[in-house]
Structure 1
Amino acid sequence: MILGRSNFVYRLNLTSEHVEFAGPPTETGEEEIIARAEGKLPPVFVSKSWLDRLTKSTNMLELSKHQGFASKIKELNAKYRPQPNGRHTGTFTGIVADNPYTALHVDVSIVNNDVLDTAAFKKWRPDYADAEFILEDDGTYICGSEVEKMSKAKFNVVNPDVLVAQYGADALRLYEMFLGPLEQFKPWNTNGISGVATFLKKFWRLFHPEDGPLAVTDEPASPAELKTLHRVIQKVAQDVEKFSFNTSVSTFMIAVNELTALGTHKRAILEPLVLLLSPFAPHLAEELWEELGHAPGSISHAAYPEFREEYLVEANVTYPVAINGKVREQRQFATAATAAEIETAILESDFLSRFGDGKAAKKVVVVPGRMVNVVV
């Protein structure tokens, strides 16, 4: 079963009545009604935040008294009441108390991040050509949403051709992998594909800064860059064996963010990274591979980058240093430092003079790679 993300609009269930009076109100305020007629209002749709306010109210009547809501109803009354023909008339619009609104499925193709394209909605179905909307304060209509079985009846079927035209085939392919493990049901949410498309743009800009010409250099890679690259090599190799493509995509995203922060444009890092990405985003990878000077199509036959564990080894470890269990500061020690070396370094430093209140150390407990505790 394929799950999709449905969107909803909320149609108000309104009652409207036009009334004709015999004349102006009497001195006692009484008015004699001589004719009644059902009002003809177009469909009126209310944005979701108004319904959220409804849930916090005792009933819909409270909501109808809200200034913004009431003013819209008053505007509709004025717009759709019949011509008075010189007579005393009035239009009264109310909300069905026990069934104030109806939630209706709306085509997800005219909804972007839960914001309805109201102009497209009016063209979507003839019944809605004259639809009126009670909008948010910023002038938008916010739809409701729910994860349901994907079907045409719920208008939540997404045409992949449309997504390819808008975001590209690589973005669609990556997003499908990013949704979650292959063996699990995953709700489709078109809103999320834009994040994957943004990742691909950031990857491109490692090669083409600010979308300019190719700017890859032959400078040697720094330890930080090599660490990021080899973390990706290791993780992707493990994930592909388990078909855990979603975590591979996440790893790529983290790596690109790190390399962007480092200002990386070095062939020694980017060329292996293109190879790693090629099964996930083949079109982008092929184009960049050719730009790096390789023959067209040769990326499919290139060897998988070699993982070297030494690049992942931390040169230093940061230890929280405590007195009687209370952390006082952080200190860095070489990864290879022994417990005895760390103890000696602590005792020879000014740590005790600053935090020991003049007391001598009874014992120094070193948990390798974790923390140091000085007992006084």
Structure 2
Amino acid sequence: MDRRNFFRSVVAGLGTAALPLPGWADAGAPDFVTAGNKPDNSTWLVGLTATGDVRFQIPIPGRGHAAALHPTGPQAVAFARRPGRFAVIIDCAEGTEVARLNSLDGRHFYGHGAFSSDGSLLFTTENDFDAPAGVLGIWDTTDGYKRIGEVPSGGIGPHEILALPTGGFVVANGGIQTHPDMGRAKLNLPQMRTNLTYLDAAGKITAQAELAGELHQNSIRHIALDQDGDVVAALQWQGLPTKNVPLVLRHTRGEDLKLLTHPDERQLKHYAGSIATCAETGEIAVTGPKGSHVLFFNKDGTPNGSSQHGTAAGVAQSRTGGLMITRDGGLVLRMNGTETLIPVGGDWAWDNHLVPISV
């Protein structure tokens, strides 16, 4: 290469390196991502603002559940509702599909996943249904989301997985054995065991906490982290319908699981959906889409009232403060005990999760 062309190549390289990487502003600056359905049964990944504006709506192959957001850019993984066989990686700025993950033979997804802290790996909760056993699939995001392995989840029915701020992950193993040949039938309720499992960044199990005894049928499903890094969890009771049981727990690693009771827990009809904590106050909110109620707890775990909201689905921290809840007709912002309805146009039906965007 002659000198002139050499310097041209250097300048061109510098120009390319100086270009800013895409951010969530390029996707319309949404505050949340969620899955939604329209009255015609079409299924979408939706970007919402805290003021109720839909910034993008991108079609997905079937009913979605949760989304995992890449830590460095506007890329989301939309997971099928369990038992599902697809997960779609979407460039939310371009509105295009980057890749599609298909579960291996003998596996299906459970609707959740989490990225490693640097975004190089994606971990997906899966059912090895002939074993039966829970596994975490591992996908290399730097190589077209190629599957590079799997590790045990530490139980049956791994549902939600979260990355921990200190490194590694926590997984809610719901304990329920299912098989796609039998739809959503629950095959092991008399013997089911549910737990929280902690793993290091490589996927090695480092600690577990099991919900045993008479509450072993209280399936741990959805989880969130509070300001102290402790886990709070939403539960779904699989035992006798006449029994009234707590549907929320908190866990500090190395200690026993602590159940949180609430006088209105019956309003959830044994089914807690999504859970989140308020960054400012530590308040905990857990939704009950089947009971159209939301329960609230103070930071110390004591009850703090409840609200009725039609098909209360997802809940998440809001960047503008407080907690945001998806419900029929739109959103509800709860801040310092006051609730404000925020309409969202489009006649959406939301799935269980509202995922906040951190920028």
Decide: shared fold, TM above 0.5. Answer: no
Which has the greater radius of gyration? 1
- Structure 1 or 2: more helix by fraction: 1
- The TM-score by the shorter chain falls in which range? under 0.3
Higher strand residue share: 2
Higher RCO (C-alpha 8 Å, min separation 6): 1
What TM-score, normalized to structure 2?
0.21
TM-score scaled to structure 1, two decimals? 0.20
